[in-house]
C-alpha cells in the first residue's frame, strides 16, 4: 500500500552521479516489483523467454545495475524474510487488489481497450516462484552483495544507514523513514522517462533524496511522533489508517496532542488497533548486521551464458551493456597507471 507522507516531506532532487563511491542499501522486493510493474509489452504482459518464464525483473536488474556500476555506485540489495504477523491484513488487502485487477484486465482485453488493459495488468504484479532466486543469481554474477533479512527488507536496509554501512536506503516506500532510514533515496530504480497511467503523457522521473533529520526538524516532531503520524495515515501494519485524517490533519493532531493516545477525536477507532505493537515494529524491528559486504568483479562469461543461453537475451545488447562498465574500469586503470609514471 505504502505510506502517504509525500506532502509533509522536503524532497531534494538529485542525480545518480551524486552517489559515486557511495553504498546504497536497496529494498530488493520493492525494486523487483517496480521492474515487474513497469517492464511490460504493449498489452501489459511481462517480458518472457522462449519457455514462457518471466524476464521483466531480470531485464530491470541487468540494465539498472549496469548503470549503477558504470557510475561507481555500490548497491547492496536487501531481501525480505518472514513478514511480521501485523502485516497479515495488508497482505490480504494486496491479494484482493490483484484479484480485482485480473478481472478488470481480462475484461479490458476482451473489449479491445489496451490502454486500460496495461494499467490493470500492472496492478496484478506479484512475485512468482523462482524470481527471487533468479535475482540473487544475477547479483552473484554481477559481484553485487545482497542480504537476506530476517523480516522486512526495508527495516534492515534502513538499519544499515543508522550504523554507517550505507549512506541511503533505496526504496519507493516512505515507511523506510519510520524504520529510521537516515536518508531515503527514491526513484533510484525507476528514474528516466515514464508514461503516466491512463494518459498519453511522458514525464521525466528523477531521483530524490529525503533526509530524516530535515523532516523531523521542519515538522518540529520526533521520530516517534513521525511513526504516530504514519499510524494515523495508515501503514503496512494498519492499512486503513483513520477515517477522514490526511497528512495535514495528522501532523496538526500530533503537534497539538504529542501522541495518538492523547487525541480525543480518535479514541474509539484507536481501541481497535494494536498501536503499541506497530510502534515497536518500527522502532525495534528484526534486522541483521552484515559482517562482510564485498563487491567483486563481474563474472562476464557466466553472466552472458545465463542471460543469453538460458534466458534468451540478445547477446549483442548484453555485450554492449557490459562494455559500458568495462570502459569505466579501463579508464580508472589508465588514470592510475599515469599517476604512478
Q: What is the pLDDT along the chain (341 residues), one digit of tens a residue?
A: 456 677 788 889 999 999 999 999 999 999 999 999 889 887 778 899 999 999 999 999 999 999 999 999 999 999 999 988 777 666 566 667 767 777 776 777 677 776 776 666 666 666 677 999 999 999 999 999 999 999 999 999 999 999 999 999 999 999 999 999 999 999 998 766 666 655 666 778 899 999 999 999 999 999 999 999 999 999 989 988 999 999 999 999 999 999 999 999 999 999 989 999 999 999 999 999 998 899 999 999 999 999 999 999 999 999 999 999 988 876 654 444 444 34
Question: The domain 220-284: what is its CATH number?
Answer: 1.10.150.20
Q: Beta strands of the chain (E only): which ranges?
A: 12-13, 23-27, 74-79, 146-148, 168-170, 183-186, 192-195, 202-205, 208-211
Reference 164, options 182, 152, 147; nearest CA is 182
pLDDT at position 1: 46
Q: In this structure, what is the dihedral angle of CA atoms 154, 24, 230, 196, given to the nearest 10 degrees?
A: -100
Is residue 177 within 8 Å of 2, Cβ to Cβ? no
44 φψ region: left (φ > 0), alpha (ψ -120 to 50), beta (else): left
pLDDT at position 331: 64
pLDDT at position 95: 65
How does pLDDT run across 241-297, given as a tens digit for each residue?
999 999 999 999 999 999 999 999 999 999 989 999 999 999 999 999 998 899 999
Instruction: Name the one residue in this structure whose C-alpha cell is 510493474.
Output: 37
* Sequence ranges of the domains in the chain: 1-219, 220-284
Q: What is the CATH architecture assignment of 1-219?
A: 3-Layer(aba) Sandwich (3.40)
What is the reported pTM?
0.87
pLDDT at position 298: 96
Amino acid at each position: 500500500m505504502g505510506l502517504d507522507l509525500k506532502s509533509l516531506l522536503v524532497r531534494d532532487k538529485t542525480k545518480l552521479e551524486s552517489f559515486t563511491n557511495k553504498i546504497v542499501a536497496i529494498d530488493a522486493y520493492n525494486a523487483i516489483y517496480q521492474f515487474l510493474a513497469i517492464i511490460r509489452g504493449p498489452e501489459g504482459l511481462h517480458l518472457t523467454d522462449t519457455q514462457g518464464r518471466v524476464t521483466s525483473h531480470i531485464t530491470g536488474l541487468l540494465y539498472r545495475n549496469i548503470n549503477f556500476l558504470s557510475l561507481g555506485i555500490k548497491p547492496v540489495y536487501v531481501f525480505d524474510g518472514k513478514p511480521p504477523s501485523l502485516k497479515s491484513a495488508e497482505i490480504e488487502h494486496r491479494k484482493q487488489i490483484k484479484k480485482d485487477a485480473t478481472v478488470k484486465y481480462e475484461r479490458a482485453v476482451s473489449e479491445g481497450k489496451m490502454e486500460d488493459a496495461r494499467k490493470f495488468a500492472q496492478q496484478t504484479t506479484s512475485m512468482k516462484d523462482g524470481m527471487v532466486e533468479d535475482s540473487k543469481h544475477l547479483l552473484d554474477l554481477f559481484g553485487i552483495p545482497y542480504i537476506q533479512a530476517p523480516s522486512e527488507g526495508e527495516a534492515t536496509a534502513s538499519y544499515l544507514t543508522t550504523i554507517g554501512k550505507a549512506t541511503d536506503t533505496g526504496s519507493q516506500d516512505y515507511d523506510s523513514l519510520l524504520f529510521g532510514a537516515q536518508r531515503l533515496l527514491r526513484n533510484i530504480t525507476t528514474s528516466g522517462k515514464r508514461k503516466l497511467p491512463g494518459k498519453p503523457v511522458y514525464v521525466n522521473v528523477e531521483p530524490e533524496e529525503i533526509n530524516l533529520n530535515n523532516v523531523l526538524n521542519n515538522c518540529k516532531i520526533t521520530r516517534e511522533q513521525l511513526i504516530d503520524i504514519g499510524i494515523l495515515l495508515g501503514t503496512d501494519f494498519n492499512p486503513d489508517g483513520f477515517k477522514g485524517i490526511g497528512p495535514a490533519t495528522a501532523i496538526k493532531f500530533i503537534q497539538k496532542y504529542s501522541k495518538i493516545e492523547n487525541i480525543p477525536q480518535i479514541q474509539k477507532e484507536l481501541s481497535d488497533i494494536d498501536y503499541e505493537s506497530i510502534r515497536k515494529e518500527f522502532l525495534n524491528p528484526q534486522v541483521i548486521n552484515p559482517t562482510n559486504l564485498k563487491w567483486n568483479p563481474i563474472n562476464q562469461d557466466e553472466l552472458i551464458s545465463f542471460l543469453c543461453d538460458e534466458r534468451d537475451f540478445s547477446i549483442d545488447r548484453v555485450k554492449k551493456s557490459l562494455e559500458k562498465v568495462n570502459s569505466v574500469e579501463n579508464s580508472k586503470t589508465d588514470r592510475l597507471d599515469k599517476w604512478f609514471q
